Structure 1
Amino acid sequence: MAKRRREHEIGDRAVKIALSRAPDHWVHQEQNRDYGVDLKFEVFRDERHSGFEFGVQVRGTEKVKKSKKGDFISCAIEVENLVDHVDKRRYPIYLFHVDVVNAKTYWTFLQEHARELSRKWRWQKEVTIRLPVSQNLDDLEDFESHFNQHLEFMKELHPSSVEAALRRARNEYSSLDNRFELNVASTGEYLRLNFTPKEPVKLALKMSQQDAETLRRFEQRENSVEFNAEVSGSKLMEEMGIGRISLRRRPDTGFSIKIVGFESRRPVASIDLTETRVSGGTTEVRIETSESHPITVNGIWKLGSSSVPTTQWNCSLAKWNSHRILDLPHFDATLAFFRKLGDCDSVQTIITKDNVQLPSIPVPVPGQLTHIGHALEMLSKSRELAYHYKLNPPLDLDCDLSDIDVLHWLTFDRKRRHTSHIFFLDDDPSLALAAVDRKSLPNKSKRFECPGLRQVFSSLTFDLFGEPIELGPITLEYRDIETRLKEDASHIAKLREDQVLLEFVGGKRMTVEGYLDNLGKQPIDS
């Protein structure tokens, strides 16, 4: 703690000495001593504002560190501050190194001095600055003559226009190594530099054992890695001070994948997946299909072995969520494939490259694909409705495959409802609760298999993913429903004695016959 207080005392004394050396036409601007700038001055000329200003980072010491020849003194500053001075400050920043014992102030221009440092200075915590003994504030004329040069330097370091900055960066870096094509773009406060080799470029990497192992994994199987290394073999790379390297493979898109479904070893269904990407190294290759397709295949192929690729495929209709119903990518091919897949007992993926095929081992058809096929059929009916009514609403898949039976929601207008045998007592579209005319039931038992119930509407509102469609007259049939009768209906207002509550507890299917018959289509089984 005592050492800390001592450092603050020396720092305060150094600032006071530096201020005492400032001439009257350097007007000190009061500010917080932060971010590496302890003092800031505006320069007046002929008692007028010149518009020129400069900042000062002050370092004080009781014992000056001189070189052997005595022509330089040394001072350490934080790299974080120097980076800000070089990259962000638009005005000159000086280091004032103050000998508080002899009240002598030495100076150097930091932005220019940074160019003379080792190329690795940005990766350090501190950097040592060497200040010429000849540069001190005892000679103010010398400082001010250099100040004019430093203003010109700052114009070149931070051009006033984006075009000038891009031109300067392109010329500066392109001259270092013409084997690279340079692309420079502005990202606001910074410039983004992209270097693309025009030809194979040999570079030497010096790295730790751990980073060498990371690079080895990239050679064998990884698609992307990052590691630390010193780069040599290109003046451009050396000048940039590259220390962190990121490698990413460019995938080979010349592959295709076909999924084939078999019935008793006979191929009956197939679908081609375009935009397949293959990437990897010398021992392992990874296979990935397009993310836009609802069917995806991922696999690993270990090279140098007799084993076939290990692949897994999946279908997720969630990839169509928010797409407009008539613009679902790859819908027709996917629907046709799943219609035939229902008859298959096994599936196989076949990878093709330059007319060479590499098949995987056939595997049983996953059981959950039945739900997907059912959902695709419902979506097909939705597309027919949308096309007929000239609608194209966004698809809203807010249910998972286990709840695919409620993919479509029916909403009923209570005022225009007319029923012959059954009517609903709440608005739950899953049809969990209804009332039924006791006379329409085959018997009066508490539990039975009901062959079917029918409801007739003079009109019906169908909600097609947020777009209402008016239908009518409509007959709804509910087939093969397992039922339980509930005699206790006291909570239902004015329920007549010849009616009982009915709860649907088994699987349910619904057909909208009247409307689809007019379209010449088969009834929807949902």
Structure 2
Amino acid sequence: MPKRSRSHELEELSVARFNALLPAKWVSRAKLPDYGIDREVEVFDEEGNSTGLTFLVQLRATDSAELGDRVVLETDELDYYRQLDLPVIVARYSSLYDSFFWQWDITIRSRVRPKEGQSSVTYRYKKTELWGEATPAAIRRTLEVRRALSSYPQGAAVPVRLDLSRLPPEMHYATERVLGQAIAHCAGVLTRPRDTRLVQVDIVPEVDFLAVRIDTIASVTFDLPSADAGLIANSAL
């Protein structure tokens, strides 16, 4: 007598649970044939109007408690995702906890950094990458930024926002002053953001390193030797 495998049951369960997490107005479609992509999701606003925003999803499900927060990806898969016109979310479903972790493929690739000749990589999700109530809004924000980047005027000044939340309060004024001086010296290239809907570069300084990012689409981190950290403090003098 034919018997359904657990893998098939788990696959269907993950699809059903994922669709249940999406806003009611969003449309989730199966991708057939399946070449490493399971779903295509189209974003609609609260009134049911199309936004023109779409993303792809690769669903990975597990019954394992140990593997619920990580996923193994073939490097060929990551290469394939990079060739696609639409961004890809790699989602990990844990049947044990009935929860999802998620992250964009471009972010996963930047963090695991496959070496030449490496056939697969393991990505371990952070606790902050657990799907929650704010996740759909974060997804939509990234898609909007991605679209804005594709049509960003050539030669236009880039808005820069400074996030001081990870610095001690005594360093806030000096750091703000350094950014102000940088913008003044780069007039026409850098500017203060006037509209949060615009593309903007986020600068997130910490005591020993500096992160520069555009939403979750692109980021780079610079180590700050202790000698260089003194530049910020000295700038206030």
**TM-score tier after normalising by the smaller chain length:** 0.5 to 0.7
Counterpart residue number, 2:163: none
Counterpart residue number, 1:82: 78
1:18 counterpart SS class: helix
* Aligned counterparts of 2:94 and 2:114: Cα–Cα separation in 1: 29
| 1:437-456 map, 5 Å | none
* Aligned counterparts of 1:154 and 1:128: Cα–Cα separation in 2: 29
Pick from 74, 87, 103: which aligns with 2:98?
A: 103
Normalising by structure 1, we get a TM-score of: 0.26
Counterpart residue number, 2:129: 135
| Structure 1 residue 54 displacement after superposition | 0.8
Higher helix share: 2
Moved more, 44-53 or 21-30: 21-30
Counterpart residue number, 2:191: none
Counterpart residue number, 1:26: 26
Counterpart residue number, 2:189: none
**Which AA in structure 1 matches 2:145?**
E
| 1:138-287 map, 5 Å | 138-139=132-133, 141-153=134-146, 159=150
Distance verdict in 2 for CA 1:107–1:64, change over 3 Å: farther
Distance verdict in 2 for CA 1:124–1:8, change over 3 Å: farther
Matched, 1:123 2:117: yes
Pick from 91, 109, 113: which aligns with 2:108?
A: 113
Distance verdict in 2 for CA 1:147–1:49, change over 3 Å: closer
Distance verdict in 2 for CA 1:12–1:146, change over 3 Å: closer
Q: RMSD value over aligned CA atoms?
A: 2.9
**Which AA in structure 2 matches 1:89?**
L
Higher strand share: 1
Provide, for residues 239-271 of structure 1, a one-character-per-residue CA deviation record: whole Å limited to 9, x for no partner.
Answer: xxxxxxxxxxxxxxxxxxxxxxxxxxxxxxxxx
| 1:346-385 map, 5 Å | none
Q: Is the 8 A contact 2:70 2:123 kept in 1?
A: yes
**Which AA in structure 2 matches 1:97?**
R
Q: Is the 8 A contact 2:74 2:120 kept in 1?
A: yes
Q: Is the 8 A contact 2:53 2:143 kept in 1?
A: no
Distance verdict in 2 for CA 1:73–1:20, change over 3 Å: same
Distance verdict in 2 for CA 1:40–1:118, change over 3 Å: same
| Structure 1 residue 73 displacement after superposition | 2.1
Distance verdict in 2 for CA 1:11–1:142, change over 3 Å: closer
* Aligned counterparts of 2:9 and 2:28: Cα–Cα separation in 1: 21
Counterpart residue number, 1:59: 60
| Structure 1 residue 119 displacement after superposition | 4.6
* Aligned counterparts of 1:33 and 1:20: Cα–Cα separation in 2: 23
Provide, for residues 44-90 of structure 1, a one-character-per-residue CA deviation record: whole Å limited to 9, x for no partner.
Answer: 01311100011110000011436xxxxx921112222211111x222
* Aligned counterparts of 1:99 and 1:135: Cα–Cα separation in 2: 13
Normalising by structure 2, we get a TM-score of: 0.55
Count of residues in Structure 1 that have an aligned counterpart in Structure 2: 150
Counterpart residue number, 1:37: 37
**Which AA in structure 2 matches 1:35?**
Y
* Aligned counterparts of 2:99 and 2:33: Cα–Cα separation in 1: 21
* Aligned counterparts of 1:13 and 1:103: Cα–Cα separation in 2: 10
| Structure 1 residue 110 displacement after superposition | 1.2
Counterpart residue number, 2:10: 10
Q: Is the 8 A contact 1:38 1:55 kept in 2?
A: yes
* Aligned counterparts of 1:118 and 1:31: Cα–Cα separation in 2: 28
| Structure 1 residue 142 displacement after superposition | 3.5
Counterpart residue number, 2:190: none
1:50 counterpart SS class: strand
**Which AA in structure 1 matches 2:71?**
C
**Which AA in structure 2 matches 1:38?**
D
Q: Is the 8 A contact 1:58 1:97 kept in 2?
A: yes
Distance verdict in 2 for CA 1:7–1:123, change over 3 Å: farther
| 1:302-381 map, 5 Å | none
Distance verdict in 2 for CA 1:142–1:13, change over 3 Å: closer
Provide, for residues 349-376 of structure 1, a one-character-per-residue CA deviation record: whole Å limited to 9, x for no partner.
Answer: xxxxxxxxxxxxxxxxxxxxxxxxxxxx
* Aligned counterparts of 1:95 and 1:131: Cα–Cα separation in 2: 10
* Aligned counterparts of 2:54 and 2:105: Cα–Cα separation in 1: 15
| Structure 1 residue 150 displacement after superposition | 4.7
* Aligned counterparts of 1:123 and 1:149: Cα–Cα separation in 2: 31
Provide, for residues 110-148 of structure 1, a one-character-per-residue CA deviation record: whole Å limited to 9, x for no partner.
Answer: 12221222251x632222122222323332x24422431
1:116 counterpart SS class: helix
Counterpart residue number, 1:253: none
Provide, for residues 127-184 of structure 1, a one-character-per-residue CA deviation record: whole Å limited to 9, x for no partner.
Answer: 2122222323332x2442243135424765xx569xx8xxxxxxxxxxxxxxxxxxxx
Please say which structure displays the higher CA radius of gyration.
1
Structure with higher RCO (Cα < 8 A, 6+ apart): 2
**Which AA in structure 2 matches 1:39?**
R
| Structure 1 residue 97 displacement after superposition | 0.4
| Structure 1 residue 20 displacement after superposition | 1.9
2:10 counterpart SS class: helix
**Which AA in structure 2 matches 1:96?**
A
Counterpart residue number, 1:243: none
